[in-house]
């Protein structure tokens, strides 16, 4: 997906356009057809007004009090890594390009993960199933949105077309086991 990011800020009390650019997606060999657009984020509250300089947000998921805005493309069903893929190199590439994502994933249960975030997800195009830890599922299409409250889940694209999801993540603190 071709994504354009326009950023505003303030200079000398006047609103200005700071940048206007097309963003190339991050891709990894481990997940053919998947694309990650890291649009914006910060690991601390942003003080306004801001000059629009991109804050530090080194990992995919935010820390408590931080936030992220991503656009994620799920590959269609059947997209698989090549048989000759060097798994060690692919995992290293994934950790470097999408830091923090692999640590959230359950190795024995592909795609299943739990994060200390409240996620606001909006399906832009395609279709996806959101599966919870007990196997309950809901099918989502364009215009459908989800508020994900730190629950164990995975996304499954069972169609022949990519699914594009806009995701806003707010870092939270987990307490207790519920």
Residues near 126 by Cβ (< 8 Å), separated by ≥ 6?
A: 74, 141, 142, 157, 159, 161, 162, 163, 164
pLDDT (tens digit, 9 = 90+) per residue, 78-96? 888 888 999 899 999 999 9
pLDDT (tens digit, 9 = 90+) per residue, 3-23? 999 999 999 999 999 999 999
Which residues, in sequence order, are bridge partners of residue 36? 26, 72
pLDDT of residue 178 exceeding 70 = no
Which residues, in sequence order, are bridge partners of residue 125? 164
Residues 143-158, mean pLDDT to the nearest whole number: 97
Mean confidence (pLDDT) of the chain:
94
Nearest alpha carbon to residue 131 among 152, 109, 101? 152
Which residues, in sequence order, are bridge partners of residue 136? none
Q: Are 163 and 125 in contact (CB under 8 A)?
A: yes
> Strand locations in 78-162, DSSP E?
117-125, 128-132, 137-140, 145-149, 153-156
pLDDT confidence tier of residue 177, bands split at 50, 70 and 90: low
Q: Delineate the domains of the chain, giving CATH numbers in brackets.
A: 3-171 (2.60.120.10)
The β-bridge relationship of strands 128-132 and 117-125 is unpaired
CA diameter of the chain: 57
Report d(CA 41, CA 156) in Å as an integer: 25
Report d(CA 57, CA 7) in Å as an integer: 16
Which residues, in sequence order, are bridge partners of residue 106? none
pLDDT of residue 126 exceeding 70 = yes
């Amino acid at each position: 997906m071709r994504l354009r990011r326009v950023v505003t800020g303030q200079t000398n009390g006047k609103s200005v356009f700071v940048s206007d650019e097309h963003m190339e997606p991050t891709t990894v060999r481990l997940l053919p057809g998947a694309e990650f657009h890291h649009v914006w984020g910060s690991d601390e509250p942003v003080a306004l007004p801001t000059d629009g300089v991109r804050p530090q947000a080194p990992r995919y998921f935010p820390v408590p009090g931080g936030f992220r805005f991503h656009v994620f493309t799920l590959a269609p069903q059947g997209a698989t890594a090549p048989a000759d893929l060097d798994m060690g190199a692919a995992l290293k590439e994934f950790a470097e390009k999408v830091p923090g994502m692999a640590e959230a994933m359950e190795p024995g249960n592909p795609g299943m993960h739990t994060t200390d975030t409240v996620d606001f997800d909006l399906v832009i195009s395609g279709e996806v199933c959101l599966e919870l830890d007990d196997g309950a599922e809901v099918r989502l299409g364009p215009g459908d949105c989800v508020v994900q409250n730190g629950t164990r889940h995975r996304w499954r694209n069972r169609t022949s077309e990519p699914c594009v999801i806009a995701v806003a993540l707010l870092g939270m603190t987990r307490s207790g086991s519920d």
